Amino acid sequence: MEKKYYKPAPRRSDDFIYGIRAVIEAVESGRGINKVLLQKGLQGSLFKELSTLLNAHNVIYQGVPVQKLDSVTRKNHQGVVAFVSPIEYTKLDLLLPLIYERGEQPFFLILDRITDVRNLGAIARSAECNGVHGIILPSRGSALVGSDAVKTSAGALNKIPVCKEDNLKVVIDFLRNSGLKIVGCSEKAEKAVYDVDLKGPTAIIMGSEEDGISPAYLNLCDNIVKIPMYGSIPSLNVSVSASILMYEFNKQTHG
């Protein structure tokens, strides 16, 4: 039998920009940037200007060898490649008051280290269908919101607000102090999701595909629920689990 080798899909050119001046202009214009790769050892006044700008705008960046940059593009990248987002991120502290002002009860999803782009897109699609007010992602350790994620979401990521936050613990504290209850989903929970009151302002946390919700965030939850399993496989895909919780929330809320 012929041995087959995995060949990674080529990157879409609209997912990244390159060159020091081009990235500086993108940051200054407020364009959504997921992260920046900087060649290790890069020096010069223009590079210093970029570094200062990235820090001032809280843009995630990482020092990498030139080979990493060459694997993204063979064009003259000048030691700098920025992965850009096709969406504009929303500030949570501005979004939440608007929801209350409209007389609606806030409903959020917090995604802790969801790294698969397809899962992110599928969750966003279900979230939009379920009237979720916003999806909250950590700045680090999450799938990038690129063109593949938008495509998988069937365009939902263009319609639902996405908040990218540096510290999920701070986010959870902010939401709890703003009147939301925090509900975590874990297969180790004692209560089934159907037996817990989900009505009212709520944020649901879904955890990593590998090891679920971080223990530090589980400890901050008001309720931890599980989805009953009746087969031999102990857990569901995270996008399916998220959909079940969202639909249960709406069933309890709207009847």
The pLDDT assigned to 14 comes to: 59
The pLDDT assigned to 208 comes to: 94
The token pair at 72 is 């993204």
The pLDDT assigned to 152 comes to: 94
For 13-84, which CATH class?
alpha beta
pTM over 0.75: yes
The pLDDT assigned to 7 comes to: 35
Listed in sequence order, the residues at least 6 apart from 89 whose beta carbon sits closer than 8 Å to its beta carbon are 32, 162, 163, 164
Q: What is the number of other CB atoms lying within 10 angstroms of the CB of residue 13? A: 11
Beta strands in 47-185 (DSSP E): 61-64, 80-84, 107-111, 134-138, 162-165, 181-185
Containing H/E element for 203?
A: strand 202-206
Residue 13 pLDDT exceeds 90: no
* Under 8 Å between Cβ of 221 and 205: yes
pLDDT in tens, 234-249: 889 999 999 999 999 9
State the maximum Cα–Cα separation within the chain, in Å, rounded to a whole number.
64
pLDDT in tens, 165-205: 999 999 999 999 999 999 999 998 999 999 999 999 999 99
The pLDDT assigned to 234 comes to: 84
Confidence of residue 4 (pLDDT cuts 50, 70, 90): very low
pLDDT in tens, 102-146: 999 999 999 999 999 999 999 999 999 999 999 999 998 999 898
Beta strands in 29-165 (DSSP E): 33-39, 61-64, 80-84, 107-111, 134-138, 162-165
CA-CA distance, 71 to 141, in Å (whole number)? 21
Domain boundaries, the chain: 13-84, 92-254
The pLDDT assigned to 31 comes to: 85
pLDDT in tens, 31-64: 889 999 999 998 999 999 999 999 999 899 999 9
CATH architecture of 92-254: 3-Layer(aba) Sandwich (3.40)
